[in-house]
Amino acid sequence: MRKQLIALLAFTAVAGVSACSGGAAGTSSDLKGQTVEIVGPWTGDEQKNFEKVLEAFKSKTGADVKYTPAGDELPTVLQTRVSGGTPPNVALIAQPGLVAQFAKAGALKPVGAEVDKAVTEHNAAVWKQFASVDGKLYGFTFKTANKSAFWYSEKAFGQVGATPPATWDDLVKTSKAIAETGLAAVAVGGADGWTLTDWFENVYLRTAGPDNYDKLSKHEIPWTDPSVRKALEELAKLWGDPTLIAGGALQTEFPKSVINVFGDTPNAAMVFEADFVASVITTNTKAKVGQDAKFFPFPSVAGSKDAVVAGGDMAVQFKDDRATTELMKFLASPESGEIWAGQGGFLSPNKDVKSYPDDVTRDLAKRIVDAGDNVRFDMSDLAPAAFGGTKGAGEWKDLQDFLANPKDVDGIMARLEVNAAKAFGK
């Protein structure tokens, strides 16, 4: 640990020194001897793929790039590094709240004009909002997650000749048809509260529209608003029928809900969640993504337009030396995304990244790009953690209670509002 710390200090010192000396250097391909440190959440296979991206940057510019994987502890790692005065050059942050916090504290540097131009050119306008604080752009989403997908078992749908439903009412109808075969329609990973917030966000974004979604995210309208009631009532059409939801949902963790659909003894036909369901299927079941396991986008509710709830890792910079800026420019360009996209397990909001390895991934990415400005960031990730990110508390717990008793719309709304007011008030 200590050794690492010294190494880090040495690295950042070198980076600092070389930044000063590198200012006079000529072309962008000549950053030899400079070191950039980047902190991100990815470990394992994702780390390997991201390091390939960084390798490309290195061979292009000659700069040395050091990647530090921080896993789930990334917020803690960054906060410690920043308050200790040794931030990395670039970090990839999944929590917009943390980006805002760093920006307001003055720890982040706004992106340069070239990066701004690249972001504007390759992304829908809404993506700039996600990474902007007080009107200044601090970064961009490098890797995104499409949280608006229903994954279904081809075999279970074949039993009743069902086709992917396009509207919420069709979904309920299809679900009922599937339930006639003795199989539950939907497996819900209700032991994990975040799956339920994703359910709600998708319905709410469609019934209430993006504007209300933004307001509710900031708690500018209360959770007792009629638009929340409407969304919960739509949700209750599915959750309220015990034949449609696989039993024991509140004791089922997310990975198990996927296995319950695609494993050897399925008890449901569909599972709703983000693109990463595909990797759960591949590692835990014999089902083949694209053949046995397919997806359809979250259906339109009451005539709503295409919309996607997304998550993502935002690249931000703590320094603004030339090597850092070059790296940000590289990450904002389609070139970097193409490298990882080709390896799989990667979606980019960048509309010019095209090298996805299979149809399913390509389609998932296309949905995000096509939804344009109707993409919204995961609302629970925007809320204070006490409300949107705590096991067994706040929104997670309230929606779990709603899943247990979908009739009690009023009670749930009141509880959501109490918890939200408390968390936002602090």
Partner 1 sequence: MRLTTNVDAAPGRSPRQAIPFLLPALVVLAALVLYPLVFSLIRSFFDASGDEFVGLRNYVDTFTDPRTLIAFRNNVIWVVVAPAAVTGIGLILAVLTERIRWATAFRLVLFMPMAISLFASGIIFRLVYEEAPNQGVVNAVLVGVHDMFSPSSQYPGARPRTGYTATDAGFVGDAPVQAGDTVMLPLVGFSPQQVPPQALPASTPASGSGELRGVVWLDVSVGGKAGKVDPTERGLPGVAVEAVRDGQVVARTTTGDDGRFTFPDLAEGDAVVHLPSSNFSLPFRGMTWLGPSLITPVIISSWIWIMTGFAITFIAAGLSAIPRDALEAARVDGATEWQVFRRVTIPLLSPVLLVVFVTLVINVLKIFELVFVIAPGSVQEEANVLALQMWQVSFGTGGDQGAGSALAVILFVLVAPAMLFNIRRFRRERS
Among the residue ranges 58-66, 116-124, 181-189, 211-219, the one whose residues contact partner 1 (CB under 8 A): 181-189
Q: What are phi and psi of 44, to 5 degrees?
A: 65, -135
Residue 197 binds to partner 1 (criterion: CB under 8 A)? no
Residue 160 binds to partner 1 (criterion: CB under 8 A)? yes
Q: Could you tell me the smallest distance in angstroms from the CB atom of residue 119 to partner 1?
A: 29
Per CB under 8 A, the list member of 191, 208, 238, 310 interacting with partner 1 is 191
Per CB under 8 A, the list member of 16, 226, 247, 357 interacting with partner 1 is 247
Among the residue ranges 113-121, 127-135, 360-368, 387-395, the one whose residues contact partner 1 (CB under 8 A): 387-395
Contact status, residue 360 vs residue 278, Cβ threshold 8 Å: yes
Per CB under 8 A, the list member of 30, 55, 253, 359 interacting with partner 1 is 253
Per CB under 8 A, the list member of 391, 407, 410, 421 interacting with partner 1 is 391
Per CB under 8 A, the list member of 179, 245, 269, 353 interacting with partner 1 is 179
Report residue 51 as tokens: 């390091």
Residue 161 binds to partner 1 (criterion: CB under 8 A)? yes
3-state secondary structure at position 87: coil
- For 66, other C-beta atoms within 10 Å of its C-beta total 17
Total site size for partner 1, rule CB under 8 A: 35
Measured distance between the N- and C-terminal CA atoms of the chain, rounded to whole angstroms: 35
Residue type, 349: P
Report residue 55 as tokens: 């390798």
Residue 106 binds to partner 1 (criterion: CB under 8 A)? no
Residue 425 binds to partner 1 (criterion: CB under 8 A)? no
Q: In sequence order, what are the residues at sequence separation of 6 or more whose Cβ sits closer than 8 angstroms to the Cβ of residue 207?
A: 227, 230, 231, 234, 301, 302, 304
Per CB under 8 A, the list member of 4, 27, 251, 283 interacting with partner 1 is 251
Q: What are phi and psi of 221, to 5 degrees?
A: -115, 150
Q: Which is nearer to partner 1, 46 or 381 (CB)?
A: 381
The set of long-range contacts for 98-103, using a CB threshold of 8 Å and a minimum separation of 24, is 99/131, 99/133, 99/138, 99/139, 99/314, 99/316, 100/133, 102/78, 102/316, 102/318, 103/133, 103/134, 103/136, 103/138
Which x/- pattern over 399-418 shows residues binding partner 1 (rule: CB under 8 A)? -x---x--------------
Residues in contact with partner 1 by CB under 8 A are 158-161, 179-183, 190-193, 243, 247-248, 250-251, 253, 265, 384-386, 389-394, 396-397, 400, 404, 423, 426
